[in-house]
């Protein structure tokens, strides 16, 4: 999900402060991936399979709406197999809210977490068995 090009405006005695939607989206994406159990951000469903994005595309798995003083965030994530999904989702919500509010001063009114997929651990490679000695 891509963000809009809208920019948030604030006024101060010295002038105005503008925070782009993309900045809020990157903060949210980084805060979400800090949580244990999050495998990565999802770029949406490609052919029915969640497409996992690398660190360079964190804002692509985030959709934000930024107003003058408030923001709402939608996160599309892929979790690791074996984690308790509700616990991970709550930790994502709390961490994203804390990061955005502390870094931008915006009030976070919603953090919606959309679980798009599950990543299974890679089995350890077995030693090659030789049929002939």
> What pLDDT band is residue 12 in, cutting at 50, 70 and 90?
low
Structural domain range at position 64:
7-119
Counted domains in the chain: 1
Rounded (10°) angle between helices 85-104 and 21-33: 140
Is 35 within the bounds of a domain? yes
Do 19 and 6 meet the contact criterion of CB atoms below 8 Å apart? no
Question: pLDDT tens digits, residue range 68-95?
Answer: 899 999 999 999 999 999 999 999 999 9
pTM given for the model: 0.76
Give 1: exposed, middle or buried? Use CB within 10 Å, 0-12, 13-18, 19+.
middle
Range scoring the smallest mean pLDDT among 9-18, 87-96, 97-106, 108-117? 9-18
Question: pLDDT tens digits, residue range 45-68?
Answer: 555 455 555 555 667 899 999 988
Is 128 within the bounds of a domain? no
Q: Which CATH number covers residue 42?
A: 3.30.70.1350
Is 81 within the bounds of a domain? yes
Is 93 within the bounds of a domain? yes
């Amino acid at each position: 999900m891509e963000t809009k090009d809208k920019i948030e405006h604030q006024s101060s005695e010295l002038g105005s402060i503008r925070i782009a939607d993309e900045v809020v989206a990157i903060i949210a994406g980084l805060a979400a991936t800090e949580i244990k159990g999050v495998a990565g951000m999802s770029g949406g469903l490609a052919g029915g399979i969640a497409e996992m994005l690398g660190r360079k595309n964190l804002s692509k798995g985030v959709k934000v709406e930024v107003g003058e003083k408030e923001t709402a965030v939608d996160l599309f994530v892929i979790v690791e197999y074996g984690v308790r999904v509700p616990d991970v989702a709550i930790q994502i919500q709390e961490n994203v809210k804390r990061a955005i509010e502390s870094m931008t001063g915006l009030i976070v009114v919603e953090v919606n977490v959309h679980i798009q997929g599950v990543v299974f651990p890679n089995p350890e490679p077995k030693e090659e068995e030789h049929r002939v000695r």
